[in-house]
Amino acid sequence: MTDSRDAAGLDAVLEALSFERRAKDARAFEDLFLRFQRRFACETLTRHQGDPQAFDAGRFFAEWVEEERGLAGEERARAFEWLAVNCGFNASLADGTCVRPWAAPERHEVRRRAGDGGVSSKVKGVEAHRLVVATVEGRRILADAALPLPVLLPLDPPAQEIPTGMGSLSATVAPDGSVRVTCDGRGEVAELLRLFRALTANSLLPEEGSRTPPGASTRHENDEVFALRLLDDRVLFWSAGRMTILDAWSRLEYPLPASERAALEKLFALELEGVALPEETHETPPAPATLRVFHESPVSADEARRRVARDAPALSLVVGRETWVEESGAGSRITIEAALAPSLPPQGLTETVRKTLVFHLVSELFELSRG
C-alpha cells in the first residue's frame, strides 16, 4: 500500500502518462506498460545508472514529474514494478539473462541448427537481467521494461511470432517454469531473454546462491553511456560515438560523436541543454558507415556462393560491398555489407533513403535465393 506522499506522487505520474485508473484487466495493464515505455526515455545521458538495490522508485517518480530524466537497466524494471503494483496489479521482479542485439559489437545471434527444431546455446554479450512478470486475469504476462521490449509477451499460453521493429518475438515455457524468448529477424533466430524458474528459499541450493551465469555482466557496473529508442519499425541506439539503427532486415551503423548534440536530441527526442556529454577519444579513426542486410535462404551455401559472383547493381551512396554466405540447416544465411559514402550528415540517412537502400539490398538477397 502507498502512503499519502506516494499516493500523491502516483497520481502525478499517472496524470503525466494520461493513464486513467480502471478495471485491473489485461488491456489496462498493456496500456500502462506501453505508456511507460513511450514516456520514460531509456538512456543514461541525463541520468546515470546507479545501484538498483538502492533505487527508490517513489522518489524517482516524484523528481521525474518536476524534471524528466532517463531511466535504464534494473532501475527501469523496478520503476515499472512499483508503478504496476501501486496501480493494483499483481506484479513482481524476476531474474534472468538477456542479450541486447543493438549493443553487441559482434554478431551474437543464436544459430538455428538443422534437425533440432530449436536454437543453440552459444550466445555472446550475455548480461544478468531483471524484468517484471505479472498475473492478470489468471494469466502470466512478461513485461520487460528493462531490455526493453516494445510489447508484452503472454506466457499462458506462450506468445508466438509477435511482430516488432526488431523482428518477430516468441516465448517458450519449459515444464519447470523457465522461459526463453527468441527473436526471428535479420535472417536468424536470436535468443534475447532467459527467465529463470521461480525458486523458493528452500529450493535454492547453496551452489545456486548466484543466479548470474559465469561471464554474464551486470549492466549497472558497466556504467555505459547510451541512448535507446524503440519505434514501431526500428530500434535506435547510440553509444561511444556510434549510432546503430536496427530493424527486422538490416543493421545500419555510422559514426556520431557526442559533440553532435542537435542530432542526438532529434534522434532520441531528448532535451540535452546543460547536459554534460561524454568526450570521445579515438586512437584510431572511427569505423566508416555500413549497412548490413540479412536473409535466411533455402538455397544451399555452395549454390549461394556461386551466385554471389554475379555483378551487383550500382546504388547511390554505396561505395563498396561484401557478401558472406554461411550454412544454415539445408539452406544458407546470406549477408550483404554495404560501405556507405563518408559524406553522410551527422543525423545519418533520412528514413526514406535508409528504407530505399534496405529495399534494394534485400531485393539482391532475394535474387540470390531464387530457385
How far apart (Å, rounded) are the C-alpha atoms in residues 167 and 149? 11
Contact between residue 67 and residue 12 where contact means Cβ atoms under 8 Å apart: no
Predicted pLDDT at 282: 66
Query: pLDDT: is 33 or 103 the higher one?
Result: 33
Torsion-angle region of 294 (φ positive above 0: left; ψ -120 to 50: alpha; else: beta): beta
Predicted pLDDT at 287: 87
Predicted pLDDT at 213: 52
Predicted pLDDT at 261: 93
Q: Tell me which residue of 184, 182, 165 sits closest to 173, measured CA to CA.
A: 182
How far apart (Å, rounded) are the C-alpha atoms in residues 232 and 163? 10
Predicted pLDDT at 279: 81
Question: Phi/psi at 268 (nearest 5 deg)?
Answer: -110, 10
Query: Mean of the per-residue pLDDT values for the chain?
Result: 85
| pLDDT tens-digit series, residues 245-259 | 999 999 999 999 999
pLDDT higher than 60, residue 310: yes
C-alpha cell, 11: 497520481
pTM: 0.86
Name the band, by pLDDT with cuts 50, 70 and 90, for residue 109. Answer: very low
pLDDT higher than 90, residue 333: yes
Q: How long a stretch of residues is the chain?
A: 371
Task: Give the residue-averaged pLDDT of 146-156.
Answer: 94
Q: Tell me which residue of 315, 313, 317 sits closest to 348, measured CA to CA.
A: 317
How far apart (Å, rounded) are the C-alpha atoms in residues 277 and 263? 13
How far apart (Å, rounded) are the C-alpha atoms in residues 191 and 209? 24
How far apart (Å, rounded) are the C-alpha atoms in residues 224 and 329? 37
C-alpha angle 234/235/238, rounded to 5°? Answer: 145
- Least confident window among 184-188, 216-220, 259-263, 289-293: 216-220
Task: Give the residue-averaged pLDDT of 88-114.
Answer: 72
Contact between residue 321 and residue 353 where contact means Cβ atoms under 8 Å apart: no
Predicted pLDDT at 218: 53
How far apart (Å, rounded) are the C-alpha atoms in residues 368 and 360? 13
Residue 250: enclosing H or E segment and its boundaries?
A: strand 250-255
Name the band, by pLDDT with cuts 50, 70 and 90, for residue 133. Answer: very high
C-alpha cell, 352: 526514406
Contact between residue 208 and residue 189 where contact means Cβ atoms under 8 Å apart: no
Task: Give the residue-averaged pLDDT of 93-117.
Answer: 62
| pLDDT tens-digit series, residues 264-294 | 999 999 999 999 988 877 667 888 999 999 9
Name the band, by pLDDT with cuts 50, 70 and 90, for residue 346. Answer: confident
Predicted pLDDT at 217: 54
pLDDT higher than 90, residue 231: yes
User: What percentage of the chain exceeds 90 in pLDDT?
Assistant: 65
Predicted pLDDT at 107: 44
Domain boundaries, the chain: 4-219, 232-369
For residue 223, CA distances in Å to 26, 141, 147, 220, 278 come to 35, 30, 16, 6, 12
- Least confident window among 27-36, 121-130, 254-263, 356-365: 121-130
DSSP structure string for 318-335 = EEEEEEEEEEETTEEEEE
How far apart (Å, rounded) are the C-alpha atoms in residues 222 and 304? 41
Q: What is the DSSP letter of 203?
A: T
From the candidate CATH numbers 3.30.2140.20, 3.40.190.10, 3.60.150.10, 3.50.30.30, the one assigned to the domain spanning 4-219: 3.30.2140.20
Question: Phi/psi at 370 (nearest 5 deg)?
Answer: -60, 145
Q: Find the Cα–Cα–Cα–Cα dihedral 151, 155, 158, 164, rounded to 10°.
A: 10
What is the three-class DSSP state of 180? strand
Query: pLDDT: is 197 or 321 the higher one?
Result: 321
- Least confident window among 67-81, 100-114, 217-231: 100-114
3-state secondary structure 133-166: EEEECCEEEEECCCCCCCCCEEECCECCCEEECC
